[in-house]
Homo-oligomer: A and B are copies of this chain.
Amino acid sequence: MSQPTATVRELIREHYTDLTQSERKFANALLENYPAAGLASITIVAAQTGVSTPTIARMVQKLGFKGFPQFHQALLKELQAKVSGPTERRANWATEAPESHLLNRFAKAVTQNIQTTFSNVPSEAFDAAAQLLANTDQTLFIVGGRITHALADYAFTHLQAVRPRVIHLTSSSATWPHYLLDMARGDTLLMFDIRRYESNLLRLAELARERGVDVVLITDQWASPVAEIASHSFTCWVEIPSAWDSNVSTLMLLEALIAAAQEEAWPQTKARYERLDGLFEQTRLFRKPGSQ
């Protein structure tokens, strides 16, 4: 191998752009299950990945190995080094970085948040909220705060693909009265409110509630005052060692809700997705999709 110090992982990263579609398929399989996915014979490895042996052979040469056996040996050496190394703690995420590196500290905190968040989701409320989000007989309004308007935007983009009648309340609260005008009994308002809670949002929620709108709230562990009004509210753990809050768990819960809403009404959703795809094709905005 040309770079004696580089790990196979690094070599893949370095050469990734040179790799073809099938080669990447194997590269990804290996990175996802490292290094186990590369330890068998080339024949077996190829079969497991779903590509041909020549593809693997070509790829390891691109990585700088003379042939598959050399590649195989390199993986083995890494594995050994890992075992014999100084009491390898698997707590490290960014495998090469020290435990104290921000990447690892950050990963630890966020993982903890996700864990706590998901452990505390009441599944009936979740299912009920998903049903509300999927209910196409009524309109769905989405709104977020200063920071969370990006999440609201994300929710809007996806839910719009899932169902019709989705409306995103722009962040300028001056225009909210216009939207309130159109809210009707049975509609749903999906609201994000993470500290510092905005009084605007509370007022909006109150007015919506008065009109018989179901409020679904996604908030943080200190709970926005909107929670008292909401039909369903979900608590996300957001604290990280930083001046601001992490929204990873928030996004994760949101995505879960979208996935659930999508499953709720799959036949219609599927047709809708296909129409959307067709429209994109026509506007030629996009290249052909990536592999897989």
Seen from chain A, the residues whose Cβ lies within 8 Å of a Cβ on chain B are 9-10, 13, 16-17, 24, 28, 31-32, 34-36, 39-40, 73, 76, 79-80, 82-83, 85, 88, 90, 93-97, 101-103, 106-107, 110-112, 114-116, 118-123, 126, 146-147, 149-151, 153-154, 157-158, 161, 195-200, 202, 220-225, 227-228, 235, 237, 240, 242-244, 246-248, 251-252, 255-256, 259-260, 262-263, 269-270, 273, 285-292
Contacts and interface: CB of A to CB of B under 8 A. Distances in A.
Interface of A is mostly: helix
6 contacts: A24-B222, A32-B116, A79-B83, A196-B290, A197-B287, A198-B286
Nearest to A199: B287
Nearest to A17: B228
B114 A97 contact: no
Contacts of A116: 31-32
A39 B79 CA distance: 11
Given A80-B79, A223-B24, A123 B150 contact: no
A27 B147 CA distance: 26
Copies of the polypeptide in the assembly: 2
Contact of A150 (B35, B111, B154): B154
A223 B18 CA distance: 11
B122 A195 contact: no
Contacts of A154: 147, 150-151, 247
A256 B110 CA distance: 10
Contacts of A115: 90, 93
A39 B80 contact: yes
B94 A28 contact: no
A277 to B, nearest CB: 10
A159 to B, nearest CB: 11
Contact of A122 (B80, B96, B256): B96
Nearest to A69: B41
Given A106-B255, A161-B244, A200-B285, 14 more contacts: A24-B222, A34-B119, A79-B79, A102-B259, A106-B256, A107-B118, A196-B288, A199-B285, A199-B287, A223-B290, A242-B259, A246-B255, A247-B255, A248-B248
Contacts of A31: 116, 119-120, 221
B94 A121 contact: yes
